[in-house]
Structure 1
Amino acid sequence: MSPPKPVVLCFMAHPDDAEILCGGALIRLASLGWEVHIATSANGDCGSDKLPPEEIAAIRLQEGIDAATLIGGTYHSLAEPDVNVVFSQETNRKAIDLFRQIGPHLVITHPREDYMLDHEQTHLLARSAAFSFPIPNASTLPLPADAHIPHLYYADPIEGKNPYTGEVVTPTVTIDVSEVIETKAEMLACHASQRDWLRAHHGMDEYIDAMKRHSAERGELIHKPYAESFRQHRGHAFPQNDLLAELLP
């Protein structure tokens, strides 16, 4: 009997956040035999200026499934409504239960400071669940046999900038994704509903090109065509070794 695969959980706010911010790292981990899970706190029901909430949420659910399936991963959602993600007792328990079901060894989420509050509240949910899911009494769901506090990393904020200062954030590790950038683009292209939305609300009509531009900017840090940057959470009780750097040198 083969040993269980190590598990990475990318826990973000909305469908397509993972593909934009850390899709390359997920692809590379999958190629190393890691089990990949992509989860969102929100259901994407505000992601259209034409369709009603239930319809666009259903579309975005399928887009999330399609993108994860492309690399052999699994998609999950807490199904909170867009622009209403809050750190509350209810959502905290939902997040802990999700982590308990997945049993991650490595977690990637949003940074504490980002351009919208759904991202910042999801950061709090991820931090809480990463710390709490191995606690036996934190959930009524079965405790995985090897449950422990996972390595925790924060992806870049959107555009790599701290929204409060405008300064580009300094990563603790930058990962080369040059060889998988086209697969990352394929994952992002699964979220077809978002091109019209971003054009209407964000004034951005270069969905995939914008992702590649930021990846190229991060690539300059390590003299590679494309890269993704992360900051490791090194708080008390969390693992201190830089697992991403060790796995993806």
Structure 2
Amino acid sequence: MRLMAVMAHPDDAEIWCGGALILHAEMGDAVRICTLSYTREAVRGKEALEAAKRMGCEVEFLGLEDIAIRDTDNAVDQLIRSIDSFQPDTIITHWYDDMHPDHEATFRLLRRSILRCFWDNSIDNIHLFPRIFCCDTYSSLGLHGPFNPDRFVDVTTIWEKKIAAINAHKGQPLAFFLDMIDRQCLAHGKSAGTKRAEGFLYLPLFGRPDDGAPLGG
């Protein structure tokens, strides 16, 4: 699997899908985090580099402005270059109903980028589109209702590694995030029949079926 996480902010991948990224990195899969905001030179960028090192992933930054991510042509062009360079077959991104405006904009930006990247070469073969999974959000609540995942990734065995990656973001409100993520992953674990799990929602973008390797192995 070539797995890419397209996230708005430097700590989003670790919080919402870090367990899945760690598991795939440990399986030898290529894993990249594309963070839309900040640069590697910024404080938050340096924290993200350390977190990615702890997860075994690579990370890049598009340098868009925090709290001002927009679905613009320039942003789409930047994301297309990232997707073209990595050629993912599976992408994790924010949920389309996420209350955070940067998260919602990231989803819309990715959707348009995927269309421009793959449509011309895939109109007769939808399987060439990457699979898209949406990750959880704050307290699993969106603008129009709760987040209802249809896929779960058991993160019990690598839980401490996920927490270590989140803890690399020293400038963020860690107590808030760690408490919320613990509660959410325990709840998802109960649904999945394990101790802790991350929840995901498969998005059949343009009719793309989920016929690839299971997320999380």
- Between structure 1 and structure 2, the one with the greater Rg is 1
Unaligned runs of 5+ in 1: 1-5, 45-55, 138-146, 199-204
Q: TM-score, normalised by structure 2?
A: 0.89
Match of 2:97 among 104, 113, 120: 113
* Cα contact 1:172–1:230 (8 A) shared by 2: yes
8 Å CA contact 1:107–1:130 kept in 2: the answer is no
Q: Corresponding residue for 1:31? A: 26
Q: Which amino acid aligns with 2:21?
A: L
Out of 26, 34, 37, the residue aligned to residue 42 of structure 1 is 37
Count of paired positions: 212
Deviation at 1:89, TM superposition (A): 0.8
* Secondary structure at the counterpart of residue 4 of structure 2: strand
**How much has 1:84 moved relative to structure 2?**
0.9
TM-score by length of 1: 0.78
CA-atom RMSD in angstroms = 2.2
Identity %, equivalent residues: 27
Determine the C-alpha separation between the residues in 2 that align with 1:110 and 1:178.
Answer: 22
- Partner in structure 2 of residue 11 of structure 1: 6
Name the counterpart of 1:161.
Answer: 141
Deviation at 1:57, TM superposition (A): 7.0
- Structure 2: which amino acid aligns with 1:76? E
SS of alignment partner, residue 8 of structure 1: strand
Which one of the candidate residues 37, 51, 62 is aligned to 2:46?
62
Of 195, 200, 214, the residue aligned with 1:244 is 214
SS in 1 for 2:205: coil
Q: Offset of 1:237 from its aligned partner?
A: 4.8
CA distance in 1, matches of 2:87, 2:41: 26
Counterparts of 1:197-236 in structure 2 under 5 Å? 205-236=175-206
2:73 and 2:22 map into 1 onto residues whose CA distance is 33
CA–CA separation in structure 2 for the residues paired with 1:72 and 1:176: 18
Contact (CA 8 Å) 1:112, 1:124: kept in 2 or not? yes
Q: Contact 2:26–2:56 at 8 Å: present in 1 too?
A: no
